[in-house]
């Protein structure tokens, strides 16, 4: 994970999401919505395309491009709707997420917020492509990073490790560094931070290709 800069809400957000959402919640007179009621009043989906565009189709949690052909980019409510219903219709509470990350996060609240994490809190090891906390951080922050890695299964093999391998393989076999920065910004950031932008091409062994 890398820090994600919050982007401004769309100009028509009030009309499309906030106002109808507030009216829905007001009509419940303080009661918490049921799952069925949430499904029937999912006005946040009205700005899914704007969220995708604002965050360049990059998953806030996995820090790589969300393919449009194979999955639908999700709107994750960082503070779960069940915890703070009034935040269900607030742009500032939306995080762009791939379906896998959204499913794993669910309503748990032990995941660090990509909007508030610090620079270089998460470290990517090469050549293993496993994540770990920066050892220079205070113990309590390292524990939160470990909890986030565990909850989101950031070191899941083969799913996420293979995904990172695919992006790095494309770069090592000729894709530009700009291409990597656009599609897998965390990998690009770590290569630059560790001074491995060129050396990585000699370090990695791609003789045994992963399945396409």
Angstrom CA distances, 201 to 161, 186, 190, stand at 18, 17, 14
* Of residues 17, 50, 190, the one with CA closest to residue 119: 190
pLDDT at res. 96: 97
pLDDT at res. 125: 96
pLDDT at res. 207: 63
The pTM assigned to this predicted structure is 0.90
Q: How many CB atoms lie within 10 A of CB 84?
A: 13
pLDDT at res. 211: 47
DSSP state, residue 58: B
pLDDT tens-digit series, residues 140-150: 999 999 999 99
- Cα 29 to chain center, whole Å? 34
Burial class (CB in 10 A: 0-12, 13-18, 19+), 136: exposed
pLDDT at res. 69: 61
User: 205 is written with which tokens?
Assistant: 């062994």
pLDDT at res. 70: 60
Low-confidence ranges of the chain (pLDDT < 50): 209-212
Cβ proximity of 35 and 52 under 8 Å: no
């Amino acid at each position: 994970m890398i820090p994600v800069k919050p982007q401004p809400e769309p100009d028509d957000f009030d009309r499309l999401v906030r106002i109808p959402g507030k009216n829905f919640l007001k009509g419940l007179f303080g009661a918490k919505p049921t799952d069925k009621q949430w499904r029937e009043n999912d006005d946040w989906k009205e700005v899914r395309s704007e969220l995708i565009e604002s965050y360049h189709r990059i998953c806030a949690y996995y820090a790589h491009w969300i393919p449009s052909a194979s999955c639908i980019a999700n709107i994750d409510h960082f503070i779960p709707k069940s915890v703070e219903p009034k935040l269900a219709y607030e742009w500032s509470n939306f995080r762009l997420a791939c379906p896998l990350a959204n499913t794993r996060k669910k309503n748990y609240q032990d995941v660090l917020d990509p909007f508030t994490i610090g620079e270089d809190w998460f470290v990517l090891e090469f050549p293993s492509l496993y994540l770990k906390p920066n050892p220079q951080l205070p113990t309590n922050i390292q524990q939160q990073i470990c909890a986030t890695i565990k909850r989101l299964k950031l070191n899941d093999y083969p799913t996420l490790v293979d995904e990172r391998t695919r992006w790095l393989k494309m770069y090592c076999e000729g894709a530009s560094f700009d291409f990597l920065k656009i599609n897998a910004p965390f990998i690009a950031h770590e290569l630059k931070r560790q001074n491995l932008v060129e050396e990585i091409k000699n370090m990695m062994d791609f003789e045994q290709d992963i399945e396409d």
